[in-house]
Amino acid sequence: MGRLQDKIAVITGGASGMGAAMAKLFAKEGATVIAADINEDNLKKIAEQENVEGLRLDVTSDEGWADFVKTVIDKYGRIDILINNAGITSNKPLDQITEQDWTLLHKINSFGPFLGIKHVGEEMKKAGKGAIVNTSSYTAIIGSGFNPYSASKGSLRAIAKAAAVELGPHNIRVNTVFPGVIETPMIAGIGEYKEAMDRLIQATPMKRLGQPEEVANAILFLASDEASYINGGELVIDGGYAAQ
């Protein structure tokens, strides 16, 4: 028996980085995984794995979520696990941040997970059970040079807390992880990459970056029945960075 045996799990941003690591791990632990992503090419690759289906979803679309959830429910009958993981980043200096940057980051990183909780939460209520895990960021906890990104991830932290209180009575647990810098395609896009990464590694007590599988392992626990009384929980996965 796997740790997620026979669970139906939706993972947003499931076509890359941490989401892809979760898709692989969850399927190995017995779940049927629906990887939801806007990147259709990567979805096709991820869906080559056994027990992983790729379905296109733009997490910022209310209508898109309604159609997506209907498709999954029609096919599988329920959603046991939702991982709100899709996100984008930006590290522009303060004086260069535009309203457009601000809006886009909040739309994807904060409104997207909110919509997921709204739509999937309704189905979980009908089933009388469910587990939701959100991927926030260490930048929501400490000061960093990622202004609108940090704000969007702090917003997600508050959304998750509110949802834990509202959905807890329905036997739905809502928890959040706060990864540090993890080696995924997302950070490869950050400017002055090598220099920035060297600085971050030196500033991290464990003197290395995190790997997507290390985040996936923690999320697997929170999504599983092993975490049956953990609701509104917050888990930092950053090699000790935020503890300083």
Rule CB under 6 A: say whether 181 interacts with ligand NAD. Answer: yes
Tell me the C-alpha distance between 133 and 2, whole Å.
19
Neighbours of 227 (CB within 10 A): 17
At 88 the three-state DSSP class reads coil
Rule CB under 6 A: say whether 185 interacts with ligand NAD. Answer: yes
Rule CB under 6 A: say whether 57 interacts with ligand NAD. Answer: yes
Q: Which residues in 51-87 are b (16+ Cβ under 10 Å) and which e?
A: ebbbbebbbbbeebbeebbeebbeeeeebbbbbbbbb
Of 39, 144, 171, 211, the one binding ligand NAD by CB under 6 A: 39
Of 34, 55, 85, 132, the one binding ligand NAD by CB under 6 A: 85
Tell me the C-alpha distance between 124 and 102, whole Å.
31
Active site residues: 149
Neighbours of 173 (CB within 10 A): 25
Of 38, 55, 79, 174, the one binding ligand NAD by CB under 6 A: 38
123-142 footprint of ligand NAD as x/- string (CB under 6 A): ------------x-x-----
Rule CB under 6 A: say whether 88 interacts with ligand NAD. Answer: yes
Rule CB under 6 A: say whether 87 interacts with ligand NAD. Answer: yes
Residue 58 contacts residue 38 (beta carbons within 8 Å):
yes
Closest to ligand NAD by CB, 118 vs 170, is 118
Report the chain's terminal Cα–Cα distance, integer Å.
40
Of 7, 33, 37, 224, the one binding ligand NAD by CB under 6 A: 37
Binding window for ligand NAD (CB under 6 A); candidates: 57-65, 71-79, 121-129, 218-226: 57-65
Helical H runs in the chain? 17-28, 40-46, 62-76, 99-106, 112-127, 147-167, 185-188, 193-203, 212-223
Minimum CB–partner distance for residue 170 and ligand NAD (Å) = 25
Minimum CB–partner distance for residue 6 and ligand NAD (Å) = 26
Q: Where do contacts with ligand NAD occur on this chain (CB under 6 A)?
A: 12-13, 15-19, 37-39, 42, 57-60, 85-89, 108, 112, 135, 137, 179, 181-182, 184-187
